[in-house]
Structure 1
Amino acid sequence: MSYPGYPPSGGYPAFPGYPPTGQESVYPPAGQYSYPPVPGGYPPAGGGGTYPAAPPSAGYAGAAGYPAPGGYPGAPQAGGMPPYSGGPGFGVPPAGPGFGGYPQPPAQSYAGGGPAQMPGYPSGQAPSPMPGQPAAMVQCTQGTIQAAPNFDAGRDAEILRKAMKGFGTDEQAIINVVANRSNDQRQKIKAAFKTMYGKDLIKDLKSELSGNVEELILALFMPSTYYDAWSLRHAMKGVGTQERVLIEILCTRTNQEIREIVNCYKSEFGRDIEQDIRADTSGHFERLLISMCQGNRDENQTVDYQKAQEDAQRLYQAGEGKLGTDESCFNMVLASRSFPQLKATVEAYSRIANRDLLSSIDREFSGNVERGLKAILQCALNRPAFFAERLYYSMKGAGTDDSTLIRIIVTRSEIDLVQIKQMFSQMYQKTLATMIASDTSGDYRRLLLAIVGQ
């Protein structure tokens, strides 16, 4: 796979200040997975802590090892699911069953199962299903950047040329174009610019811009797959490894995205990503990342509740139920099951262990493998909340982790940034735009806010 103009002759220049020192924590695309509707709702209305009744043909209501509602030790009764505390981050979940305070996705997040007006969609419209995917299982996600109507690549190329020609730079004109075009449209602008002026748009932008606004605009002009591959390469290049970048990308992508990233990494950088991971990581964390690189996660959206029960029991016996931890069991389940299936497993686990699975991973693991396993589960439970947390901590406290902030805003801008903004406000009692405005300045702030939308 090749991306025209990437890297430019002489190689793609490093972004200023990248890799950043100190913390590093983000993630790019596709929030397609969430918990599919179950007839009668899941859990039943008013019964936050009970399993849904199964149709007799399923045979699992009190049969085949599937306990009846309330049949687990310490299982919560109706209304027993603890409410989200509203505190920052996910932290160590409170004791007892449930999802450890992890905020639930916006209500009615599925086409066919929600109210007439779905968040972010006009007149209740929902996205079209992928081929072979039931319409009722398409999650309503939406980016803040949409493809511009009446798009004219040549006209945009001319606007950018005028903005950079002569003395000074019209940064606002550049912002107006790049913040309101899809990534595919930006690639067309880049090609039109070279055709019309015989010059490389990326090189011209670099000569006119600097600092964080340069990094942000160059990221916007990278093809999405290349940006992920580039981020992974720079996370492992040179002294030290930015493990959080590896977790963010490899633990959150769809199978197709993973495979495209692996191929791009090979074609653009001439390197095998598995070999680089083995050279830069070790132990159970290395094995988890290698598993992620295969792009073989089950993506069947149908939940097998019997398997969820069996997996939950298996995880309990591999961790809380024994002295020591069988790390390979956690790797196998979390690396191979679909996200909807993992969400059902989390629910079942809380009833078996009288503790949620995120809390058990806190107790059984540490370091990067703990962060990787939790990232997978958090995405299964509520992907927008997962990215909202990363954004919050990129700006919290002294200084700003600009590379993390840029990476999340850019990679989620066409996928689910609308939902991320909603979760951010719910979790931190302030808007994402407010926090960005207080932590950034100048053209950098104006471009970020233009992407995020007010």
Structure 2
Amino acid sequence: MGYGQAPPPNQYPPPSHSPYDQSRGYQQPPPMQNQYPPQGYPPQQGAYGAPPPQQGAYGAPPPQQGYGAPPPGQYPPPQQGYGQYPPPQQQGYGAPPPGQYPPPQQGYGAPPPGQYPPQQQPYGAPPPGQYPPQQQPYGAPPPGQYGAPPPGQYGAPMGPPTQPSLGYGPNPIAPMDAMKGFGTNEKELIRILSKLDPIQANTVRTQYNQRFMKDLIQELEKETSGYFEKGLVSIARGPLGSDVYTLNGAMKGLGTKEVMLNDVLIGRSNADMNAIKQEYQRVFRKSLESDLRGDLSAGTEDLFVLIVAAQRHEDSVPVNPQQAKQWAEELQKSLGSMIGKNALAVCQLLVTKNDAELRAIIQEFQNMYKKSLAKVIGDKFSGHMEDALVLLLARAQNRAVSDADQLENTMAGVGTKDDLLVQRVIRAHWNRQHMQQVRAEFQKRYRKDLIKRIEGETRGDYEKLMVACCQ
């Protein structure tokens, strides 16, 4: 059955008619309150989102996935969280030991609670009382539903969509005087810009442009230079603007910087991906897909066209254990031999699954075939295709560990990959708690503090900005 094609009629038992069963994952936490913006607020355009609350099945990683929304009470509605942190996950399938990660405190680099008017509660939860209490063990579907693929498996994702991430939706202006204390010397630029969250970055850029009748980004480009300039400009553009300029730069000129395409596009929610496509079209007057087709070829072109189609299962799609086993079997058949592998089938199966489903597939593949799915993919593929698929699995398993590894890769060996270091530090810094979890994983894996590692690889104002973004 090809991707984008619904299963034949009557092939599977009908799914449960309970809306609760259709929107619950494997080992889900209880429903959260106030899912949606206040009644009457204009609908969101081009919802952009970051990794939302993860399903509790198959060893869901600690609450560091995504980019993190500000805590309640920080911004006026409709504030889109840069991927609201999920509540503590149930243990299962290789979940991290209790106490390994600190409980979430702040959103993606958000200022102290109480600074802004009340915020909507975490995304993805139904209104109170809408669904009955959980009856099935571990949030599993009711008897008889095993083996049936979730509705929308090969087409439009089922369930409530992931909400836009902070910085990927409409950008309201924070009620603050962003220019107060704003200086133009390097020290002041580092002090102010390194601590902004996406809403504040938009506010600073807007107020500066209006008050001084100048473009902040152009002024930064004129007054600073080198990787210090690249870092400041990336912050001033905000996460969405930085993403689209990174993508365009990766495909401009001779050759393609594949690793930058991977950094921006792999493992994004449908809402994030749609936001990126819309902003890319607005800024560069051409579609992201057409540029990708022009720069990529063969299997990698197919892979990235699938990725930017934004057809991942939403995180509200439950994990079905028997379906995960079936997917693992399909992967084993599609991987086949070096000559006989079906690359398109592998890509289509993996890029359309949400993170919880990917963790389930990884675990089932290990249980059934006694080998790592990532290692098998590394053996069967090479180059850009291998890197993209392995990164997709790594980010689904544990985003903080994956980010720590990526940061070390920018500094390992001879010379520092400064362009990547700037982008990866700033992408992680938008969520302060996530950055602290990345630092903790970096310390654990490499026996060295991330800040000390960066200080050994950078100099001057560039070094000070990177360090400030990690603190």
TM-score with structure 1 setting the length: 0.68
Name which of 423, 444, 466 aligns with 1:407: 423
Instruction: Judge which range, 206-215 or 312-321, deviates more.
Output: 312-321
1:438 maps onto 2:456 in alignment:
yes
Counterpart in the other structure of 1:157: 179
Structure 1 equivalent of residue 443 of structure 2: 425
Unaligned runs of 5+ in 2: 1-48, 61-84, 92-97, 107-112, 114-119, 129-137, 140-165, 167-173
Show the 5 A alignment for 1:70-219. 110-111=87-88, 113=90, 119=102, 121-122=104-105, 128-132=121-125, 153-154=176-177, 156-160=178-182, 163-164=183-184, 170-219=185-234
Match of 2:267 in 1: 252
- Distance in 1 (alpha carbons) for counterparts of 2:121 and 2:404: 25
Partner residue of 1:80? none
| SS in structure 2 at match of 1:375 | helix
Contact 1:153 1:192 in 2 (8 A): no
The one of 341, 347, 351 equivalent to 2:357 is: 341
The answer as to whether partners of 1:34 and 1:381 remain within 8 angstroms in 2 is no
Distance 1:323 1:271 in 2: 37
Structure 2 distance, partners of 1:322, 1:444, is: 45
Secondary structure of residue in 2 paired with 1:297: coil
State which of 240, 247, 250 in structure 2 corresponds to 1:232.
247
Q: Which residue of 1 aligns with 2:71?
A: none
Matched, 1:379 2:362: no
Q: Distance in 1 between matches of 2:219 and 2:293?
A: 37
Report Cα offsets for 1:176-207 as digits up to 9, x if no partner: 11112212112212222233222222232222
Distance in 1, Cα, partners of 2:426 & 2:53: 20
Cα deviation for residue 248 of structure 1 reads: 1.8
Structure 1: which 5+ runs fail to align?
A: 1-28, 43-107, 138-142, 144-150, 165-169
Q: Distance in 2 between matches of 1:365 and 1:426?
A: 30
Quickly say closer, same or farther: Cα 1:201–1:37, change in 2 above 3 A.
same
Q: Distance between the aligned counterparts of 2:100 and 2:355, measured in 1?
A: 26
Encode CA deviations 1:77-110: one digit per residue, 9 max, x unaligned. xxxxxxxxxxxxxxxxxxxxxxxxxxxxxxx984
> What do the CA deviations read for 1:333-380 (whole angstroms, capped 9, x no partner)?
101111101111111111222211011101111111111111111111
Residues 297 and 335 in structure 1, CA contact (< 8 A), matched pair in contact too: yes
Q: 1:202 to 1:360 in 2, by over 3 A?
A: same
Distance 2:412 2:398 in 1: 21
Matching residue's letter, 2:88:
A
1:272 matches 2:287: yes
**Alignment check: 8 A CA contact 1:320 1:353 kept:** no
TM-superposed deviation, 1:129:
2.6
What letter corresponds to residue 111 of structure 1 in structure 2?
A: P
State the AA in 2 paired with 1:441. Answer: R
| Higher normalized helix content (fraction of residues) | 1
Deviates more, 1:420-429 or 1:304-313: 420-429
Q: Which amino acid in the other structure matches residue 430 of structure 1?
A: K
Whole-angstrom distance in 2 between the partners of 1:109 and 1:427: 24
Amino acid at match of 2:229: E
Change (3 A) 1:35 1:172: same
Whole-Å separation in 2 of the counterparts to 1:435 and 1:322:
39
Aligned partner (choices 380, 394, 403) of residue 364 of structure 1:
380
Structure 1: how far apart are the matches of 2:452 and 2:421?
A: 14
Check whether the contact 2:57–2:356 (CA below 8 A) recurs between aligned residues.
no
Q: Which consecutive segments of 4 or more residues in structure 1 shift more than 4 A? A: 112-118, 133-137, 320-323
Q: Which moved more, 1:314-323 or 1:190-199?
A: 314-323
What one-letter code is carried by the residue in structure 2 that aligns with 1:157? M
Distance 1:347 1:176 in 2: 44
Change (3 A) 1:200 1:323: closer
Higher RCO (C-alpha under 8 Å, 6+ residues apart): 1
Percent identity of paired positions between Structure 1 and Structure 2? 25
More deviation, 201-210/238-247: 201-210
- Aligned residue identity for 1:119: P
1:290 equivalent in structure 2: 305
CA offsets per residue over residues 262-304 of structure 1, 9 Å max, x none?
A: 1111111011111111111111111110000011100234211
CA distance in 1, matches of 2:420, 2:354: 27
Q: Render the CA deviation track for 1:18-55: whole Å, top value 9, x for unaligned.
A: xxxxxxxxxxx9454655157xx89xxxxxxxxxxxxx
List per-residue Cα deviations over 1:422-452 (Å, max 9, x = no partner): 2111111111111011111111111111110
Q: Who is 1:100 aligned against?
A: none
Q: Does the CA-based 8 Å contact 1:309-1:345 persist in structure 2? A: yes
Distance 2:343 2:464 in 1: 46
Q: Distance in 2 between matches of 1:189 and 1:323?
A: 55
Q: Is the 8 A contact 1:30 1:254 kept in 2?
A: yes
Give the drift of 1:332.
1.7
CA contact 2:52–2:123 (8 Å) conserved in 1: no
For residue 157 of structure 1, give the secondary structure of its aligned residue in structure 2. Answer: coil
Larger radius of gyration: 1
1:417 corresponds to which letter in structure 2?
Answer: M
1:212 Cα offset (Å): 1.1
For the 8 Å contact 2:267–2:396, the answer to whether it is kept is: no
Match of residue 366 from structure 2 = 350
- State the 1:158 CA deviation: 4.8
Alpha-carbon distance, 1:384 to partner: 1.3
